[in-house]
Structure 1
Amino acid sequence: MWAAATGIFLFSWGPIFVRDNEFGALPFAFWRLFGATAWSVAALHLRGGRLDRRVLRHSLAGGVVFTVNAATFFTAIKTTSVANAMIIGSTAPIFLLWAASRVFGEQISYRVKLATPVAIAGMILVLLGRPDSTGGGSLGGDLLAVVAVLSFAGYLVASRVARNHLSALEYQAGWSAISTAMMLPIALLSFDPLVIADGWSWGVAATMAVTAGLAHLMVNYSHRHVSLRAITLMNMVAPALAVLWAWFLFDEQLGGWQWLGVPLVVVSVLSVVLDE
C-alpha cells in the first residue's frame, strides 16, 4: 500500500515536469522513457537479471499501450490545461473497476461502489469549476487526453498480467525498453527537434525519468500485493494533486467548485484505502 501510494504521489508531478520545459511533447516523452530505460536496465543487470526474450515477451503489451499513452498524454499536457488533462484521466476507474471485477474476479465492496461515483463527481467539479479566465484548454487536447486515459487503463491491466510472470524490476526494464524503441521514430517524425540547447529542459527530463520511472516501479511492485480496485481508486488522487501543483506553480487559478471537488476525491479515495 505504501509503495502504491508513493508511486501515485510521484505520478501527480508528471504533468508539471512535462509543462515546465522547452522540449516538444513527443521528444520529451522519448527522453523521459530513454532515461527510465537506462537506469532500470542497469539496475536489472546489477541484480543479476537480463533483458532477454522472456522479459520482452511478457512486457510487450504493457510497452505498446504505454507508448500510446505517453504520446497522447504528453501532447495533451502541451495543448490543453493540466487540470483538463488530469481530470479527464481520472475517469480511468470506470474502465479499471470493470476489469477488476470481470477480468480478475475481484469483489467490489459497497464502500468502493459508493466512493467511485463520489470521487468522479469531485473530478467533474474540478473540471467544470475551472475559471474561464485561466484559458489554456483545447478540444483537440481534451480528445487526446481521452485516448490517454483509455491506454493508461490498458497499461495497468497489462501490468497486472505481466507481474504474474516477471519481477517488478524485470517488467520495468522490459516495457520501458519497448516503449523507448517505439517512441523514437514517433519523436523523429514530429515537428519538434529531438535535441535542444537548454540545460533546464534536460534537467527536467532527467528528473522525470527518475521520478516517473520510480513511480511505475513502485505501482507495478504493488500489483502483487494490492487489489486493482485499490490501485484504481488511489490513482484518482494524482489528478487532484496535479491541479494543486498547477495552481501553485503556474497560477492556473482554481474556481470555487474546484475547492470542493478536490477534497471529495481525496476523502473518497482514503475511504477505499482504509477499507483495504
Structure 2
Amino acid sequence: MRGATGAAPPGTSLGMWAAIVGIFLFSWGPVLVRDNEFGALPFAFWRLVGAATWAVVALYLRGGRLDRRVLRHSLAGGVVFAINGATFFTAIKTTTIANAMVIGATAPIFLLWIAGRVFGERISPRVMLATPVAVAGVALVFLARPGGIGGGSRSGDVLAVVAMLAFAGYLGTSRLARNHLSALEYQAGWSTIAAVLMLPVALLSFDPLVVGDGRSWVVAAIMAVTAGLAHLMVNYSHRFVPLRAISLLNIAAPALAVVWAWFLFDEQLGGWQWLGVPLVVVSVAAVILDE
C-alpha cells in the first residue's frame, strides 16, 4: 500500500509483519489438534470461549469496555465467523480434508472482487497472477495426498463452499469493523458473539461438550491463545495492509500445516506436494514484495 509520493504510510511494515506472524500462528492449528478427544464442534466452541475470555480480560485491563458500541460493530464479524466455524468443521467430518482445504483456498478469488469493488483497491498484475498460482499450489498439496481426490460427499463439499464464503465475509467485515474499533476491541467483540452462537451448535452435535482427558483441555487452551493472537494480529493489520494481500497470505497457512506435519510427525509428502508448497510460498512472497 503506497501513498501518492510512493512511500509506504506509517505502520505499513509493522502491519505486514503482524499479518505474516498471524498466518504463521494459524498454520499450527491442524498440528495442535492432532489426536484430540474433543469433537470438532465442541472443540471449536471451547476455543472461542478461551479466545473471548482472554480478549475481554485484556480489554478491561487496558481500560476498555465490551459495550453496545463494540458489540454492534463486531456483530457481523462474529456471525459470519460462527457460520464459518460450524460449516467448516462439519464439512471436515462429511467430506475429505483435501476437498475442504482446497475449496477453502479459493477464498482469495472472491476477496479480490471484494477488495476491488467494495474497498476500491488496485489489483496489480502480480497479485492477479499470484492468486491462481497459489490456489493451484494448495490444490497440489492436498489433492496429491493418498485418497485426496474424491471420497467426499456432495453435502460436505457444499458446506465447505459455505465455509469459504463465510470466511471471505469475515475478512471483509473485519476490515469494515476496524474503521470503528481497535484491534483488541474487535477481538473481544466478535469472539464473544461467535462463542455465544456456537454454543447451541455444539450442544446439538453428536459429540460431548465436556471430555475427561486433561490433555485435550490443554490443547484447547493453547489453541485459544495462539488462534486468538493470530486473529488479533491479522485484524490489526487491516488498518495498514490491503485486503488483497491479507487474503492471499491466508493461503500459506494450510500449506505450512502440511510441512509441520511432515517435520514433526513424519507424514509423507508426495512429489506433486513438493511442487505445491513452493508454488504457494513463491506466490505469497510475490504479493508481500508487491506491497
TM-score tier, shorter chain, comes to over 0.9
Counterpart of 2:260?
245
Counterpart of 1:115?
130
2:35 aligned partner, one-letter code: D
Displacement of 1:74 in angstroms is: 2.5
- Asked whether the 8 Å contact 2:41–2:205 carries over to 1, the reply is yes
The partner residue of 1:211 within 209, 226, 236 is 226
Separation (CA, whole Å) in 2 of partners of 1:65 and 1:40? 19
The partner residue of 2:143 within 111, 115, 128 is 128
Is 2:193 the counterpart of 1:182? no
The partner residue of 1:227 within 242, 250, 254 is 242
Q: TM-score by structure 2 length?
A: 0.89
Structure with a larger share of its residues in helix: 1
1:136–1:125 CA distance, 2 compared to 1 (3 A): closer
1:201 aligned partner, one-letter code: S
Query: Structure 2 stretches of 5 or more lacking a match?
Result: 1-15
Displacement of 1:262 in angstroms is: 1.0
Displacement of 1:114 in angstroms is: 1.4
Superposition pairs of residues 10-29 of structure 1, within 5 angstroms: 10-29=25-44
Residue deviations 1:149-182 (CA, integer Å, cap 9, x gap): 1111000000000000000000000000001111
Query: Structure 1 stretches of 5 or more lacking a match?
Result: none
Separation (CA, whole Å) in 1 of partners of 2:137 and 2:182? 35
Superposition pairs of residues 28-39 of structure 1, within 5 angstroms: 28-39=43-54
Counterpart of 2:152?
138
1:247–1:80 CA distance, 2 compared to 1 (3 A): farther
Counterpart of 1:260?
275
Displacement of 1:242 in angstroms is: 1.6
Separation (CA, whole Å) in 1 of partners of 2:151 and 2:61? 45
Q: TM-score by structure 1 length?
A: 0.93
1:240–1:257 CA distance, 2 compared to 1 (3 A): same
Counterpart of 2:213?
198
Displacement of 1:143 in angstroms is: 3.6
Separation (CA, whole Å) in 2 of partners of 1:61 and 1:96? 17
Counterpart of 2:188?
173
Separation (CA, whole Å) in 1 of partners of 2:277 and 2:240? 28
- Asked whether the 8 Å contact 1:55–1:174 carries over to 2, the reply is yes
Displacement of 1:254 in angstroms is: 2.5
Separation (CA, whole Å) in 1 of partners of 2:57 and 2:151? 40
Separation (CA, whole Å) in 2 of partners of 1:228 and 1:50? 28
Residue deviations 1:121-173 (CA, integer Å, cap 9, x gap): 222222332233x7995335444322221111000000000000000000000
Is 2:109 the counterpart of 1:73? no
Matched positions, count: 275
1:39–1:136 CA distance, 2 compared to 1 (3 A): farther
Residue deviations 1:230-254 (CA, integer Å, cap 9, x gap): 1111111111112223334555532
Residue deviations 1:63-100 (CA, integer Å, cap 9, x gap): 00000111122233455555443332211111101100
Secondary structure of the 2:38 match is coil
Secondary structure of the 1:104 match is coil
Displacement of 1:50 in angstroms is: 0.3
Separation (CA, whole Å) in 2 of partners of 1:19 and 1:86? 16
Aligned-residue identity in percent:
78
Is 2:121 the counterpart of 1:106? yes
Separation (CA, whole Å) in 2 of partners of 1:229 and 1:152? 14
